[in-house]
Amino acid sequence: MDGVTTLVGQGLYMAMAAVTGLMLARVLRIDNTLGCLIAGVVAGILLPVIEFDTGIRADNLHQLVFFVILPVLIFEAAWRIEPKLLKRWMGPILLLSTLGVAICALLTAVLIYYGIRHPGFPWIAALLTGTILAATDPVAVINKLRQTRADKELLTVVEGESLFNDAASIVLFSLVLGAAMHTVVEGAEVTGVPLFGMADMSLYFTVIFFGGLALGLMCGLLTAIVVLFLGSAGAALATLVLSAFGTFYLAEHVVHVSGILAVMVCAVVTRICLREQEDTFLADVGPTWEWLGLLFSALIFVIMGLVITPGMFTSQWLAMLIAIMAAVGARALAIFLVAPLCRFVGPPLLKPWRLVLSWGGVRGVIALALVLSLPTELPYWYTIQAMVFGVVLFSLLVQGTSTRFLINRMADAEAEKLEGARSSGGH
């Protein structure tokens, strides 16, 4: 077969596995992500039997996830955020997604480093793992919350923090990865010193972070102008999809700023500018992004199932357990340390919300994409990959399934308080 035919066949194979996973989830009454993960594992087992090659490689998976799947998922998640609520909670969201991410990454690294205590796993490796695990998955978190009776303001905080912290963690990951590769290229000791000073890191973070915001603003305004000019439902949907891919590509490949932030801001700005058209030719935008998000979210977990190897769970099980405890503990500590400061930059975070933010910090697409982009020149890449896979699986199987119960219990408690207050007032 020629290259194009092979590519189509590979895409169809993964899409069929995704649909199979959705069917499996419905039959077994489990979450869609779990169904797609199981379907991916089964599809991977069948590959040698049917003598088929999916084309997925360590050197192309990062590009597939970042430039094809991620733009759709981020745009879809950001399009659903209520702009008014996002504006109200922007201060706490930015605080949690910057200072909170930095604290979470550092605490995770410390716990993993002293938990493993092996000469082949230096401090820079632990820091790399910490930056990867600091990113929570907005897609998984949002899907879970929308299936509950979560308060709209809580939903906005969790959505916004998940989207913004991905951008922050990717910037930190790039810095630490540069330092790690520097030690390898220069032939230095594997425990080498960081390549950047604190001032350089701060400048780099500022440019990437706020550059993404600025680019997203411009792309959002341009998208809104084009949609208004075209003035038809089909053309509007095509423009929005093109805008998601184009904004991410422009940010990451041309301007070299945060693609996640650029796409997120583009979606929010476009929706604000086109709010008067949501009942006219943009009435089908919501359902369209919903099925696109469902398909691409299913695909990423199918891919995860394809790349998981049984050997990870036999040779790296202890490292996985350490990473799980470190990731969960560091996330909780970071949230409860930063949350009291939110009242200085916006509305205070309620204590039950802090519990949801800490336990609901599910790892998924972003962590998976980052760990699969690790160069194999790093001697500890496989250990990091195994740990991240372990944390992602724990998030899906334990945190993801229990977060819904936690939020529903919180809603019941609030309802009981309100009913009690009404009863007291009646007497």
**CB distance 214 to 262 below 8 Å:** no
Average pLDDT over residues 19-42: 88
Residue 36 is assigned to a structural domain of this protein = no
**Total domains present in the chain:** 1
pLDDT confidence band for 137 (50 / 70 / 90): confident
d(CA 147, CA 403): 10
CA 234 to each of CA 228, 231, 276, 290: distance values in angstroms, whole numbers, following the listed order: 12, 9, 17, 16
**CB distance 287 to 11 below 8 Å:** no
**CB distance 264 to 162 below 8 Å:** no
Structure-token pair, residue 323: 């990473």
Q: What percent of the chain has pLDDT over 70?
A: 85
Per-chain mean pLDDT for the chain: 83
CA 331 to each of CA 111, 136, 158: distance values in angstroms, whole numbers, following the listed order: 12, 10, 14
pLDDT confidence band for 188 (50 / 70 / 90): very low
Residue 12 is assigned to a structural domain of this protein = no
Residue that is written with structure tokens 């080498």 in the block: 192
What are the DSSP calls for 184-201, one per residue?
HHTT--TT---SS-HHHH
pLDDT confidence band for 119 (50 / 70 / 90): confident
Residue 3 is assigned to a structural domain of this protein = no
Q: Which residues contact 55 (CB under 8 A, 6 or more apart)?
A: 6, 7, 10
CA 104 to each of CA 194, 326, 331, 369: distance values in angstroms, whole numbers, following the listed order: 19, 10, 5, 19
pLDDT recorded at residue 400: 74
pLDDT confidence band for 191 (50 / 70 / 90): very low
Residue 276 belongs to a domain with what CATH number?
1.20.1530.20
Residue 301 is assigned to a structural domain of this protein = yes
CA 420 to each of CA 351, 353, 417: distance values in angstroms, whole numbers, following the listed order: 20, 21, 5
Structure-token pair, residue 386: 């195994």
Residue 13: other Cβ atoms inside 10 A = 20
How many CA atoms does the CB half-sphere of 410 hold within 13 Å?
20
* pLDDT higher than 50, residue 193: no
d(CA 220, CA 247): 9
Q: Which residues contact 166 (CB under 8 A, 6 or more apart)?
A: 74, 135, 136, 138, 260, 366
Least confident of 13-17, 54-58, 234-238, 404-408: 54-58
Residue 51 is assigned to a structural domain of this protein = no
Residue 389 is assigned to a structural domain of this protein = yes
More confident position, 16 or 175 = 16
Question: pTM of this prediction?
Answer: 0.81
Name the residue range of residue 259's domain: 56-426
Least confident of 156-160, 173-177, 187-191: 187-191
Residue 291 is assigned to a structural domain of this protein = yes
Radius of gyration of the chain (CA): 22
Q: What is the DSSP letter of 349?
A: P
Residue 176 is assigned to a structural domain of this protein = yes
**CB distance 215 to 249 below 8 Å:** no
Structure-token pair, residue 53: 């090659």
